[in-house]
Structure 1
Amino acid sequence: MIKLHGTPLSPYYNKVKVGLLEKGVNFQEVLTSPSQEDWLLEKSPMGKVPFVEINGHPVAESTVILEWLEDAYPTASLLPPTPNGRALARELMTMLELYVMAPSGPLVRHMVKGSRPEPAQCDEIRQGIARGISAVAQLAQQRPWLAGEDFSFADISAASILPLVAKLSQGFLGEDMTLRLSGCGEYLQRLGGRHSVARVWADRDASLAALMARRD
């Protein structure tokens, strides 16, 4: 049995969860917050979530977990069949995480705290997200998936990151920055048509609603 530790509010947790659902693997979700407590550091050395326990063996970092899943369950592949295609899927996944999600990080913290960023910070964040979206747009295939014909790591990251960035940028920056990616609306509709993504989005929305209710 695989135990997935983390929270549905985390795009990286949701990335792993989509992967598990796509692979058809039985798993148990364990609500876990990041911390520096000894027990958690023994399983995730930086105290981060998500991490998984595979029959008691811990594995941390979302991309490493996806790669483990691909090695352990290769028949339901989440990477294209060619070396160039696999590289593109990994490249897009990395760009989404480093250059789209990472610049949005301050907005996540403001959302959780119920605060608002200063105008100068908003401008900096907008510029960072715009650069990241532009880089993704340069490589995105959308035929029909981000790296081409095959649903892949790139789409799993996109499903976890783009809706969150859309919500954050619309709420704090006054613009849905993801719309700078041509065809993003139709692409998200295709993503939402997959059972794995639809379930993860529903669980995420329920957790976000619960957070807002507690804050109110």
Structure 2
Amino acid sequence: MIKLHGVSFSPYYNKVKIALLEKGVNFQEVLTPPSQDEWLLEKSPMGKIPFVEINGRPLAESTVILEWLEDAYPTASLLPPTPNGRALARELMLLLELYVMLPAQPLVGYLLKGGRPDAAKAEEMRQAIARGMGAVAQLAQHGPWLAGDVFSFADLSAAGVLPTVAQLSQALLGENLTQRLPGVAEYLQKLGQRPSVARVWADREAALAAFMARRG
């Protein structure tokens, strides 16, 4: 049994959750916010989520978990069949996470706690996110998935990152910066038709709504 620890509005948690659903792996979700508590640091050395427990053995970092799943469950592969295709899927995944989600990360605090970034900080984040979206647009294949014909790591990441950044940038920067990716509306619609993604998005919205209700 695999236990998946984290929270349902984390893009990285959702990346792993979609992979588990796509592969048909039996797993249990455990609500676990990130923290520096000793028990959590024993399982995720930086106190980050998601992490998994695989028959009791902990494993952290979302991309490492994906790679483990590919090795352990090679059927229903989430990587293209060629070396170049696999490299592109991984490259797009990292572009989305390092250059789109990471510069948008400070906005999560504003959304959850209230307030807005000042004009200078907002513009700095807008430019950084827009540059990241431009890099993704440069490499995206739309064939029909982000890295080509195969639903891959790139799409797992996009399914987590794009809705989050769309919401954050529209609410706090005044522009949905994910629209810098040509055809993004059609791509997101196609993603949402995939049962694994539809379930994860529904769980994300429910968790976020519950959190905001408690905060309010």
Q: Does 1:146 align with 2:128?
A: no
Q: What's the CA shift for 1:60? A: 0.2
TM-score, reference length from structure 2: 0.99
Give, in angstroms, the shift of residue 6 of structure 1. Answer: 0.4
Does 2:185 correspond to 1:185? Answer: yes
Which residue does 1:101 correspond to in 2?
101
Instruction: Give deviations 1:48-83, integer Å, cap 9, x for gaps.
Output: 110000000100000000000000000110000000
Q: What residue in structure 2 maps to residue 82 of structure 1?
A: 82
For residue 71 of structure 2, what is the amino acid of its counterpart? D
Alpha-carbon distance between aligned partners in 1 of 2:36 and 2:167, rounded to the nearest angstrom: 30
Deviation readout 1:10-56 (Å, 9 max, x if unpaired): 11001110010001001000000111111111110111110000000
- Report the AA paired with residue 114 of structure 2: G
**Is 1:163 paired with 2:163?**
yes
- Residue 23 of structure 2 corresponds to residue 29 of structure 1: no
Partner of 2:10: 10
> Is residue 2:109 matched to residue 1:134?
no
**How far is the alpha carbon of 1:115 from its aligned partner?**
1.6
Q: Does the residue aligned with 1:68 lie in a helix, a strand or coil?
A: helix
2:73 is equivalent to residue 67 of structure 1? no
Aligned length: 216
User: Aligned equivalents of 2:168 and 2:33: distance in 1?
Assistant: 21
**1:131 partner letter:** R
Partner deviation per Cα, 1:182-209 (whole Å, 9 max, x = no partner): 0000000000000000000000000110
Question: Structure 2 stretches of 5 or more lacking a match?
Answer: none
Specify the SS of the correspondent of 1:28: strand
Alignment map for 1:103-122 (pairs within 5 Å): 103-122=103-122
Give 2:209's aligned residue: 209
Q: Distance in 2 between matches of 1:193 and 1:9?
A: 19
Whole-angstrom CA distance in 1 between matches of 2:83 and 2:38: 40
* AA matched with 2:101: M
| Structure 1 runs of 4+ with >4 Å offset | none
Partner amino acid for 1:59? L
Alpha-carbon deviation of 1:123?
0.1
CA deviation after TM superposition for structure 1 residue 163, in Å: 0.6
CA distance in structure 2 between the aligned counterparts of 1:108 and 1:170, rounded to whole angstroms: 12
1:19 and 2:19 equivalent? yes
TM-score by length of 1: 0.99
In 2, distance between residues paired with 1:36 and 1:29? Answer: 20
- Residue identity in the other structure for 1:86: R
Distance 2:212 2:136 in 1: 31
Distance 2:110 2:9 in 1: 14
Unaligned runs of 5+ in 1: none
